[in-house]
Chain A
Amino acid sequence: MKIDISGLNKFFENRVRLGIMSILVVNDSYDFNNLKEALGVTDGNLASHLKALEENGLIKSSKQFIGRKPNTSYYATEAGRQKFSVHLKALEEIINSQ
């Protein structure tokens, strides 16, 4: 049987990106360190995926200072939420198609 993957978004194939989006659609915002702990990835790995997501307009960031330490929070944009939900629906349809 042929699987229809037209609804899938190539951009979410990576599991780190998938994880970031999963967290940001159910939470108003999440900061870098908490994302890192929740996903169990390295700083560099997380940073590069966050950058890619931000450049594509799926998430936004805001920087603030906690004491003297910079702290960056991330949240999903409306476009990001919509694209992720389309991707999620496509995944579910593939799983349920047999």
Chain B
Amino acid sequence: MESKSEYFEDLRIIKKVMEESSRFLSLSGLSGLFAGLIALAGAAFAAYIFLDGKFLLSGGFFSADKAQEMDSLKIKFLAEALIVLVLALGVSVFFSYRRSVQKGLKIWTPVSKRLLVSLFVPLVTGGILILILYFQHHWQLIIPSMLIFYGLGLVNAGKFTFNEIFYLGLLEITTGLLSAIFPVYGIIFWCFGFGLLHIVYGLAMYRKYER
């Protein structure tokens, strides 16, 4: 007969195997922290280089007025947002890879593939929609779309990683909806959603799981 400690070990193994096979646990809080910092740096870069230090709050950043004169600016903003996205994703992959090595876990597993698919279906949909909105001159909807579709991606992907990601997704969606109500403050909501929320979440998750 097995002793009680053997049963305890059985249960521990069951829980560990279930968790590792159904959730991607190598996501690092540092990914969030640095993604947030990159977003804020990107916004600051846009404000100082493109706008020459004039922070366009009134008049509406990405709002529909004065379309012609802002046209060249808008494509710069969109291109820069894309660069920020690629850098942020790159940083996430880098820190997740590092963490998986530390934890001795594989990074390319059935669950990490599912995580990526569930994240990227809403993300790519949003990306295509943003291009359509751009060409149809619905600029005031671009920032809300970025936040909302990113949030939907996180809500979707949250099933395959830490639960916190699900709630981060809900906050991003809320931020996106608010930015649709107040389009004049689009850039503020963008900095809050992609910058501050990432930094706060990244730090909180780093403290909770990695120290």
Contact = CB atoms under 8 A, between A and B. Distances in A.
6 cross-chain pairs, A with B, having the tightest CB-CB distances, nearest first: A22-B17, A26-B22, A23-B21, A22-B14, A26-B18, A22-B18
B13 A22 contact: yes
B4 interface: yes
Interface of B: 1-2, 4, 7-8, 10-11, 13-14, 17-18, 20-22, 106, 109-111
Interface in A17-56: 18-19, 22-23, 25-27, 30-31, 34, 37-39
Contacts, number: 54
A37 B106 CA distance: 9
Interface in A64-98: 88, 91-92, 94-95, 98
Contacts of B1: 5
A92 B10 CA distance: 10
Nearest to A21: B14
Given A26-B18, A27-B22, A34 B109 contact: yes
Given A34-B110, A37-B106, A26 B7 contact: no
The residue in A25, A31, A98 that gathers the most chain B C-beta atoms within 10 A of its C-beta is: A25
A interface, over-half SS = helix
A33 to B, nearest CB: 10
B21 A18 contact: no
B11 A92 contact: yes
Contacts of A30: 21, 110
Interface of A: 3, 5, 13, 15, 18-19, 22-23, 25-27, 30-31, 34, 37-39, 88, 91-92, 94-95, 98
B21 A38 contact: yes
Contact of B21 (A3, A22, A91, A94): A22
23 contacts: A13-B2, A15-B10, A18-B10, A18-B17, A19-B14, A22-B13, A22-B21, A23-B17, A23-B18, A25-B18, A26-B22, A27-B21, A27-B22, A31-B110, A38-B109, A88-B14, A91-B7, A91-B11, A91-B14, A92-B11, A95-B4, A95-B7, A95-B11
B110 to A, nearest CB: 5
B113 to A, nearest CB: 10
Contact of B8 (A22, A27, A39, A95): A95
Nearest to B15: A22
A37 B18 CA distance: 14
Contacts of B111: 27
